Structure 1
Amino acid sequence: MSEISQPSKAKFSHPKGLYVLFAAEMWERFSYYGMRAILILFMTTEVVREGLGLSTETAGAVYGLYTACVYLMTLPGGWLADNVFGQRKAIFYGGVLIMIGHLVLAIPGSPAIFFVGLGFVALGTGLLKGNISTLVGELYANEDGAKRDAGFSIFYMGINLGSFFGQIFVPLLAEYNWHLGFGLAALGMLLGLIVYKVYSPKHLKDIGIEPKVKYQESTGKSNKWVSMAILAGVVMLLGILQAVGAIDVTTATGIAKALGIIIVLITMGYFLNILFNGGLNVIEKKKVAIIFILFVGIAIFWSGFEQAASSLNLFARDFTDRFIGGWEMPAGMLQSFNSAFIIIFAPIVGALWVKLAARNINVRTPFKFAIGLILLGLGFLVMVGAAQIAANGAKAGMFALILTYFLHSIGELTISPVGLSATSKLSPSKYLGQMMGIWFVGAALGNLIAGLVGGNFDPENVLEMPNIFMNVVWVSVGAGIIFFAASPFIKKWMGDVT
């Protein structure tokens, strides 16, 4: 008998398997966010200082491509788990690939070796990231919604604990040697694998052992030909853009732009195909249209938020006074404030929504999206002021970045879990898995844009920095205002989904 089918000893007790997954994900996030904290810094550091010596533009594009691929790989990673490996093996194989990737990154060598390491990490994360969350859900297959939510909250705490400590210790070690930092990330993943391998057989029992092999038959018309037409159109457009010189796919920046175009066009084609060719009724079509609107909102949000590891990381290194007494804090360590704020304020924000609902003040999803996007913009408005200080030849204080991360963290809490929950509720049942995958595609697009924007951050042209940050303010605040204005329309089409 599976552990999840046994009655709980106490109302608020949780399956022991949760803590196994908690530990595995904590160490995986330690490795991922720890490495991400030093990634663009390592790429833009001169070769004589043992960096790669890439230009900021190229490094930003590589960062965007890498982080986008991490999320895009969750789609084939989920398919392989459902149809080939099962979730349990997929998670373990993913962890092994991640560890190999970090070990490759720890080897001093050419950029080619470095890119191979990034590839291993992206592939491994694609196998692990989505599937470990699926196992958490299966632990609570026979439990009520409140207990499931509490379990996911505990699991989310593991994510943020891992990222918090990873963004402290990996940059700290990288100050002495870049490759020791990457090596520490590999060690973190190894610890996660050990915990997972030793304790999962006992506490996860038979959960996720066998592949689900669930092939959902489409009720649409000729989806195969529609998909081929979309792909043909994308290829033709990219060929035209390459011919007229709008993009150059021989450079990292050009490849990143091409990938962004591909993501946007295929996503739009996918939504149009489901709307007009997916066998949905009118109510379902309206809800799918709302999912597309939320997709746009989350992509905009991540495009600003994920600059923590690109433009904001470069600003921390080059234009921020990081001295505390006689000790200079490593630039990458400042990113740990985001995780710290999430750990502190997640229960407070969650309790706020509950208290407001108890008073019949139900803050609906589009309103929360508006709040998150405007908080994102306010964070970058703080950075406009900091950039103006740098443009005048002085270094900004760390408080500017800390305040920015605070605003962004509260914004994340109002938009990320809310959007994920709304997507799961709005999705037609036969497209649920695909729609959840599309949510990760939104994160991929946002990360890609964050890398491209970070590539425009030129330390040699300090006078342009206020304008770069101000452009993000206009886009994010503008999007927030649009969500505010469109809230009545969006709420109407959402129906009883909050």
Structure 2
Amino acid sequence: MALSSSGVATATGKEKFTHPSGLYVLFFTEMWERFSYYGMRAILILFMVAGPAKGGMGLADAEAGAIYGIYTSAVYFLSLPGGWIADNFLGQKKSIWYGGIIIMIGHIILAIPGSDGIFFLGLATVAIGTGLLKPNISSVVGELYPEGGARRDAGFSIFYMGINLGGAIGMLTVGYLGEKIGWHYGFGAAAVGMLLGIIIFRIFSEQYLKEYGLLKKQVKSEEIQIEKKSSNSLITIVMAIVSVLFLAILQWAGYINIFTATGLAQSMGIIIVSIALFYFIFIFVAGGLTGIEKKRLFVMFILFLSAAIFWAGYEQGGSTLNTFSQRYTDRDIVGWEMPASWLQGLQSIYVIMFAPIFAAVWLFLNKRNMNPSAPVKFGVGLVVLGVGFLFMVFASQIVITGAKASALYLIVAYLFSVLGELCVSPVGLSFFTKLAPQRYVSQLMGIWFVATSLGTLIAGLAAGVFDEKNVANMPTNFMYIVYFTAGFGLIILLFSKQIKKWMGGVE
């Protein structure tokens, strides 16, 4: 790595065609963390809707979907304070380490059969740990490539492949154990996966990340750090007070009921939207940004909205499509019924297959000055996702006749969702690290995951709409997802040139 005349790090010689060794430490750490997360997620809603006779909780679809949405939303929403804690107190290495330990403890709690209270305690513990680990490990990947460019995009695509390798293995392993052996055996396997992840990080992080200066907090001066802590503490206090008051008013007026799972999920959605808006506005107005940084922040807000809408559709894979697989899909293979959660695992398998191809395509196009801008990639991703849900419209039209749909519909729908994902998620991870002012990088990475939080919450709430009492409405409900995702994608494509101008030269 060398410095240009402007002081910006650039890749030289061999570095242009290779990746830092630290990438692979983070690759395997995240792979096992995602094994634990996606493995457990694969059986979560199935465990909640299964009757007590089958070892489940016996919850109604709407309640189980709301709890699923609250949990998956909290996992990503807590990335915002997780990034803040790393920036101001622990640093990235300790945040990743402690986060992994907390996640493992949460899965161990879930593996213990017991009351609903123990189950919810386990979910909360996993969410807290993931919020601490997730934004910081992604930020470190970005810092391995200070020169930016297509090489960083390719690095994030490789990192993303590790995420999905862990997800695929996790869903197959935990899914089989949970559905065929016992739910709590599946939860226990997730704990083992996280243990392997923290062991790898502990052994290899010192050797392969220290050379990049990533194990210490980068603080210019004690005075700046004190000022930053004070301002961020004020933000946190103000957002908390405003959110509580707003929810109290809505509860008093009868618009929500925070004492039900659905009402609590709706309340969480209001909090997420309010905090995200307040955070963007605060940094824009009082963050000390230059004119170019403000334009880039506005682009980040647009990408935030796009990501939230994308994940609201994509995350139906763990909720709506998962129960569709269990109830309405023919999964018979020569007399053996495949676990419903295995079809969900196709998303990760597809990513493993196509991520290297996408990474190579981005590099190929970049060398010829044809690499699409981030807004174009986001727009295409949303449109492709919408097209995938058309197949679920066709599948649900078969279901309302009383027959089961072929698994091919889900196989194709998951394929389109992944093709859209590869245009959005690794690209979004990379561009948030590029567009964010350096002093806010971990916190704005947290905001990126808050978009996922909002999307997964919506996905959980949507699962309650697709219950067994509303089968006749299923085609229409799937069609709404097509309109919403593909429609917003077309709007992004329409204004992509103007959005690119606001990026201020970031490629």
**Quick check: TM above 0.5?**
yes
- Residue 451 of structure 1 corresponds to 460
Aligned counterpart, 2:405: 396
> CA–CA distance in 1 between the matches of 2:462 and 2:106?
26
Contact 1:167 1:332 in 2 (8 A): yes
Alpha-carbon distance, 1:428 to partner: 3.6
Distance of 1:138 and 1:424 partners within structure 2: 8
Counterpart of 1:159 in structure 2 is 163
CA–CA distance in structure 2, aligned partners of residues 198 and 38 of structure 1: 31
Q: Is contact 2:320–2:462 with CA below 8 Å preserved after alignment? A: yes
Q: 8 Å contact 2:86–2:442 — kept in the other structure?
A: no
Q: Structure 2 length as normaliser, TM-score?
A: 0.88
Distance apart, 1:459 and its partner CA: 1.8
Given the alignment, which residue of 289, 304, 316 partners 1:307? Answer: 316
Equivalence for 2:181: 176
1:57 aligns with 2:62: yes
Hey, what does 1:496 align to over in structure 2? Answer: 505
Aligned equivalents of 2:143, 2:367: Cα separation in 1:
29
What code does the residue aligned with 1:155 have? Answer: F
Following superposition, the deviation at residue 329 of structure 1 comes to 0.9
In 2, distance between residues paired with 1:14 and 1:274?
33
1:482–1:494 Cα change, 3 Å: same
Match of 1:481 among 453, 468, 490: 490
Aligned partner of 1:3 in structure 2 is: none
Find the counterpart in structure 2 of residue 4 from structure 1.
Answer: none
TM-fit CA distance, 1:64: 1.0
Q: Which residue of the partner structure matches residue 45 of structure 1? A: 50
The one-character-per-residue Cα deviations of 1:129-153 (angstroms, maximum 9, x if unpaired) are 2222344445556x88666555444
Structure 1 distance, partners of 2:414, 2:176, is: 20
Q: RMSD over aligned Cα, in angstroms?
A: 2.9
Query: Which stretch of structure 1 is more off in the superposition, 128-137 or 393-402?
Result: 128-137
Structure 1 stretch 93-102 or stretch 46-55: which is displaced more?
93-102
Equivalenced residues, count: 491
Partner of 1:245: 254
User: Contact 2:150–2:363 at 8 Å: present in 1 too?
Assistant: no
Partners of 2:499 and 2:20 lie apart in 1 by 38
- 2:42 equivalent to 1:33: no
CA contact (8 A) 1:83 1:213 kept: no
- Aligned partner (choices 276, 284, 293) of residue 275 of structure 1: 284
Report the equivalent of 1:86: 91
1:108: how far off?
Answer: 1.3
Letter in 2 for 1:178: W
Where in structure 2 are there 5+ consecutive unaligned residues? Answer: 1-10
118-127 or 390-399, larger mean C-alpha shift: 118-127
Could you list the per-position Cα deviations for residues 351-398 of structure 1 after superposition, in whole angstroms to 9, with x for gaps in the alignment?
333434444434222222211111111111110111111111000111
Q: Does 1:74 align with 2:83?
A: no
Correspondent of 1:371 among 359, 363, 380: 380
User: Aligned partners of 2:289 and 2:90: how far apart in 1?
Assistant: 32
Judge conservation of contact 2:158–2:355 (CA < 8 Å) in 1. no
**C-alpha distance in structure 2 between counterparts of 1:14 and 1:279, whole Å:** 34
Distance 1:124 1:244, change over 3 A: same
CA deviations over 1:329-370 (Å, ceiling 9, x no partner):
101111111111111111222333343444443422222221
2:171–2:345 Cα contact (<8 Å) kept: yes
Alignment of 1:437 with 2:446, yes or no, is: yes
> Does the CA-based 8 Å contact 2:71-2:123 persist in structure 1?
yes
Query: What aligned pairs does 1:124-143 form with structure 2 within 5 A after superposition?
Result: 124-138=129-143
Query: Is residue 266 of structure 2 the alignment partner of residue 261 of structure 1?
Result: no
Amino acid at match of 1:448: L
Q: Specify which of 321, 324, 327 is matched with residue 318 of structure 1.
A: 327
Q: Which residue of 2 aligns with 1:346?
A: 355
Q: Which amino acid aligns with 1:88?
A: K
Deviation of the 1:446 alpha carbon: 0.8
Distance (whole Å) between structure 2 residues aligned to residue 280 and residue 82 of structure 1: 18
Letter in 2 for 1:159: I
Q: Which residue of structure 1 lines up, in the alignment, with residue 300 of structure 2?
A: 291
SS at match of 2:258: coil
Tell me if the contact between 2:65 and 2:319 (Cα under 8 Å) persists in the aligned partners.
yes
Name the structure 2 match of 1:110.
Answer: 115
Of 460-469 and 377-386, more deviation after overlay is shown by 460-469
Instruction: Decide whether aligned partners of structure 1 residues 418 and 148 sit closer, same or farther in structure 2, where only a CA change above 3 A counts.
Output: closer
Post-superposition offset of 1:308: 0.6
> Counterpart of 2:344 in structure 1: which amino acid?
Q
1:213 shift after superposition? 5.7
Paired with 2:52 and 2:28, the residues of 1 have a C-alpha distance of 37
Moved more, 389-398 or 419-428: 419-428
Give the partner amino acid of 2:130: T
Aligned equivalent of 2:395 = 386
Percent of aligned pairs with the same residue?
54
Note closer, same or farther for the CA distance 1:394–1:109 as it changes in structure 2 (3 Å cut). Answer: same
Is the Cα–Cα contact under 8 Å of residues 154 and 360 in structure 2 kept in the other structure? no
Query: Match of 2:478?
Result: 469
Structure 1 pair 192–271 and aligned structure 2 pair: CA distance change class (3 A):
closer
Is the 8 Å Cα contact of residues 94 and 123 (structure 1) preserved in structure 2?
yes
Distance of 1:88 and 1:353 partners within structure 2: 30
How far residue 425 of structure 1 moved from its aligned partner, in angstroms, is 2.9
SS for the counterpart of 1:52 is: coil
Structure 2 CA distance for aligned equivalents of residues 484 and 134 of structure 1: 28
CA deviation map 1:297-317 (0-9, x unaligned): 110000110111000000000
State the alpha-carbon separation in 2 of the partners of residues 317 and 396 from structure 1.
11
Letter in 1 for 2:35: F
Aligned mates of 2:13, 2:85 — CA distance in 1: 35
Instruction: Mark the CA change 1:381 to 1:87 in structure 2 (over 3 Å): closer, same or farther.
Output: same
Unpaired runs of 5+ residues, structure 1, are: 1-6
Q: Give me the whole-angstrom Cα distance separating, in 1, the residues matched to 2:114 and 2:396.
A: 35
Q: Is the 8 A contact 2:79 2:447 kept in 1?
A: no
Q: CA deviation at 1:196?
A: 2.9
Residues in 1 aligned to 2:18 and 2:493: alpha-carbon distance in whole angstroms: 40
Aligned to 1:191: 196
Q: Secondary structure at the match of 2:506?
A: coil
Secondary structure in 2 matching 1:108: coil
Q: For residue 267 of structure 1, report the CA deviation from its aligned partner.
A: 1.7
